[in-house]
Copies of this chain bind each other. A is one copy, B any other.
Amino acid sequence: MYKKLKQKIENKTAKICIVGLGYVGLPLVREFLKKDLNIIGYDIDQKKINSLKRGISYIKNIPHSEVKKFLKKKFHASSDKRFIKIADIVIYCLPTPLNKNKGPDMSYIENTLNENKKNFRKGQLHILESTTYPGTTEEYYLPIFKKLNLTVGKNIFLGYSPEREDPGNDIYSIGQISKVVSGYTVNCKNLVKKVYDHIVKKTISVSNIKSAEMTKLLENIYRCVNIGMINELKLVCEKMSIDIFEIINAAKTKPFGFQPFYPGPGLGGHCIPIDPYILSWKAKEFGIDTKFIELAGQINDSMPEYVIKNLNSALNATNKTLKNSKILILGAAYKKNVDDIRESPALKIIEILKFKKAKVFYHDPFIKKIENSRKYNFKMKSVKITNKSIKIYDAVIIVADHDVFDYDLIKKNSNLIIDTRGRYKLGSKKVIRS
């Protein structure tokens, strides 16, 4: 079975089913199709499937034209579970958000496996790409294989290979990013490696699955902790009237031993605010407190409140209250130049402002509307901005500093700017760094 599957992968006749066609799954589809592999795109969201079938993209960084190209390649999009059975390789790109207790919400993986396990069969390779705690892959897949009387490494194969997708990163596409691979047995790992060798420059083998799972967490914990540290130093610098952005840009001229991170209004996106807690949660099982992660969480989570505090002081100085002030949020995305609002600090800031009875509006060319979500209970539509309209706001808060914004125009016409991204020089008129 191993040899047969290996050959199928090598000669590109293997059918690969990508489960979950979001920010991770869809770019993966694209890469495999570029190399002329057979791809089944599977998602339970029929809207996504319909969209793909009509050649329409729903992700900013993948243009419609590329999705149209998919349709000319060996690509089939479906929400029909039976396609899992046809596939030789099943790659899971599913979300692992946090539940209310800041533990990992494994329901997407759990439900997907429960619904699809009857379509598992001999000779398949299953690969999880989701970010999760060390031990997950074995914990969730092995019992299913056992019940089906399948022997891992012999007649079914299991691996884990974390995604390293960085939305909005134009410099590195998947093909240029090394990919960490692992498998339950040596054969498993070899197959996983063969699969990704088609699309990435280099695969990096690690000794077991949990090491690969931990690698991805380390990458994101590193980011989360460094952002927390720089947010803390922002507070120190502000008190000392030092420009933190200038400091960071000076420090990064050191050719070794430094990597720049920038302060901001809080964390966002699917990875950095979430992944570190997955390890914290697991570490508790072993009696360990992950104090850096907790501290980074506290500081990063406090940033939206800090922005509001600075806004409040600035309004107060001009005899205005937050209540009834007209506030414009500029950029609702979680970082610049992306259309992704997941976990965006803009949501938290809007929530606080609404609670304080300010009149809140937002403008984001990439996010036309904000819908109700599990966490936030409001709907909004992006407003247009012009020289004139920007004058009516008592304050403008720059949350995501998209490059398309005209910062001179904003500066010229605003009454007050709360600048969370260091777009304006420290001490500029009308501008409060926050």
Task: Spell out A's residues near B (CB within 8 Å).
Answer: 134-135, 164, 166, 169, 171-172, 176-178, 180, 202, 204, 206-207, 210-212, 214-215, 218-219, 221-223, 225-226, 228-229, 232-233, 235-237, 239-240, 242-243, 246-248, 250-251, 253-259, 279, 282-283, 286-288, 290-292, 295, 299
Contacts and interface: CB of A to CB of B under 8 A. Distances in A.
Contacts of A255: 172, 176-178
A166 B255 CA distance: 11
A115 to B, nearest CB: 30
A210 to B, nearest CB: 6
Given A134-B240, A212-B250, A233-B290, 11 more contacts: A166-B257, A169-B256, A206-B250, A207-B243, A211-B243, A211-B250, A218-B247, A219-B254, A222-B229, A226-B226, A228-B292
Number of copies: 2
Contacts of A246: 206-207, 211
A211 B218 CA distance: 31
5 contacts: A134-B240, A219-B254, A228-B292, A239-B288, A291-B299
B211 A242 contact: yes
Contact of A242 (B134, B237, B287, B291): B134
A237 B214 CA distance: 9
A221 to B, nearest CB: 7
Q: Main secondary structure on chain A at its contact with chain B?
A: helix
Contact of A218 (B177, B207, B248): B248
Contacts of A239: 283, 286-288
Contacts of A135: 240
B251 A219 contact: yes
Contacts of A226: 222, 225-226
Given A202-B253, A251-B218, A295 B286 contact: no
A30 B164 CA distance: 45
Contact of A240 (B180, B225, B251, B286): B286
A237 B279 CA distance: 10
Contacts of A171: 256
A421 B288 CA distance: 22
Would you list the 4 A-B pairs with minimal beta carbon distance, nearest first?
A: A239-B286, A178-B253, A215-B250, A259-B259
A287 B239 CA distance: 9
